[in-house]
Chain A
Amino acid sequence: MRAIIIDDERLARTELRKLLQDYPEVEVVDEAANADEGINKIDSLQPDLVFLDIQMPGKTGFDMLAELERAPHVIFTTAYDEYALKAFEVNALDYLLKPIEPKRLADAMQKLHVAEVKENHIVPENFNQSILTEVDQVFVKDGERCWFVKLSDIRLFESVGNYAKVFFGGNKPLILKSLNALEERLDPKTFFRANRKHIVNLRMIEKIEPYFNGGLLLELKGGEKIEVSRRQTVKFKEMMSL
């Protein structure tokens, strides 16, 4: 497993490298001292795992993740940040408090293995780097709240000006991405452009009803009702009839 350490303090990076010597399966391929350097190295090296500090000069670790197309596995390392811990208790892979306790690192590594094994069951059919598959996760930051979201958990993308509203669970935060840009990156087998304003997850459809003008009305698992335009209805029926 290839990993990158991102932290603005050299000593903190050195210390983490030393701790990781006990885990030969983790290979630290590079380090970065700030968010921009981190983005470049993640893009070029495509690591499986990132150890990420939150408070860094320029951009925070959260800001950096929000800029990534695809969020790698992330283990946060932070000295003290009540807010960050609150934001991530629910869905970060893990967070470690500096100075890092070896036992906590062992737990984090265990969690990582479990996550890896789960994912390996579903072998992505499409290895094209630029297409995001169901197992990929994205990092969503909306104001003070942050989430790691598996694409398979997302029901709907809704266009709101230059932003897109992402519906998953009980949340619908905004991300700074146009619907067209999203459509290019999403797997067309799972995500379907229903009309000018919506992209729906086909696996999240609960009910399909005929609608005016030969269109369709889809009801999603979250209760959202989405109209499929007449032109897209033809496409939809083609896909579904197989």
Chain B
Amino acid sequence: MYKAGESFNFELIFMAAMSRNARYWLFQIGGWGLFALINIFFAYSFEKLQTPEDQYMIFGRLLIFISAGIIFSHLMRYIIIGLGVLQKKLEIQLLNFILITLVFAFLASTLENLFLIQFDLQNKNEREFKDNFFLLVLSGAFSLFILFFIWNLIYFMYHFVTKSQKQQLDTLKLEALVKELELKTIKAHINPHFIFNSLNGIRALIDEDPNRARNAITELSNILRSSMQTDKLESVSLEKELNIVKDYLALENMRFEDRLRVEYEIDEDTLDQPVPPMMLQTLVENAIKHGISKQITGGKIKIVSDFKDSYHELAVQNTGKLVNGTAKGDGFGLPSTLNRLSLLYGEKARFSIKQLTTEIVEARVMLPVQMTI
């Protein structure tokens, strides 16, 4: 699968090197050129190219027809792009294509007929209806409609195929990531060290503080349940994610006691915002693993959620120091967070991790704000 992805990339690079416009003109000239060749071939086969008058007639008509075809199909493309037809729903796309094809067939036919009359290139049939211009346009429009229809069909198919190929690639990538997440959920996402240490703590609490022990078991169950929910693609509300994080931190608090202090700074309006499940949890776990648990005297974790410059900002701050001023991206947490963000939001989400002050490290995610309807 990796191999396939690679070769596909080469194809993409090749396609990109040839600009969009160059490709478009290649198709245009290729298509109309083929049309011209077929016409000339038949004209030649039926011996219609014998006299210079015949040649003038055939080539002149073909030139006008193809010029009208190229000019109007090119204009048609402007309209299709301008109206954003390809971004619309499939049914609307089809309706738009037929309407546009019809309108342009008539326009092109009008121009074609005007030229045919101008250069005295009308054939026998057309000469008979000389006085009925509308009828001439109508019959010209019929053949142009068929050609424009084929033109649009190719245009539509081309975009449809490239789009679905890209989508397929994205889905594959996302699926691979989900698999990876599922596999690593129990082993790395919620680390076993945490689970067993918590259980050990709970056992000690059973005598010392039975109520706290019972709560701790509930908290641990909540975390295990949410980490086992395999569908990592759907988003959850921040409120739900925050509940898991609170349970998690309550358990860590049981273990670290006064070595861990937790602070929340949550804008209540952000609670309905959708977030990727277990993402905040991963960041908090990282903050404990690389920050608090390394400090002999412990430290503080602060979770911030608010709106900032049309983004939903989620930040986890912890006492600690980045090694060499950078975060090691070789674990599971950071790369998977980055990956998920780029697959789910593309360029619209941002992630950073930096030394905020000499004592505090901050991991920050900026998500696009989702309007709740």
Contacts and interface: CB of A to CB of B under 8 A. Distances in A.
Given A57-B293, A57-B294, A99-B203, A81 B197 contact: no
Contacts of A80: 191-193, 195-196
B193 A9 contact: no
A105 B192 CA distance: 21
Main secondary structure on A side of the interface with B: loop
Nearest to B298: A57
A15 B204 contact: yes
Main secondary structure on B side of the interface with A: helix
A99 B196 contact: yes
> Which size class do A's interface residues fall under?
10 to 19
A79 to B, nearest CB: 4
A11 B254 CA distance: 8
B200 A99 contact: yes
A210 B358 CA distance: 65
A55 interface: yes
Interface in A176-224: none
Nearest to B257: A10
A79 B207 contact: no
> Which size class do B's interface residues fall under?
20 to 34
Contacts of A34: 296
A11 B200 contact: yes
A14 B204 contact: yes
B208 interface: yes
B192 A12 contact: no
B256 A9 contact: yes
A10 B253 CA distance: 12
Given A34-B296, A58-B296, A12 B207 contact: no
A118 interface: no
Interface string B284-325: 000000000111100000000000000000000000000000
B96 to A, nearest CB: 61
B196 A98 contact: yes
Interface of A: 9-12, 14-15, 18, 34, 36, 55, 57-58, 79-81, 97-100
17 contacts: A10-B257, A11-B201, A11-B204, A11-B257, A14-B204, A15-B200, A34-B296, A58-B294, A58-B296, A79-B195, A79-B197, A79-B200, A80-B191, A80-B195, A80-B196, A99-B196, A100-B200
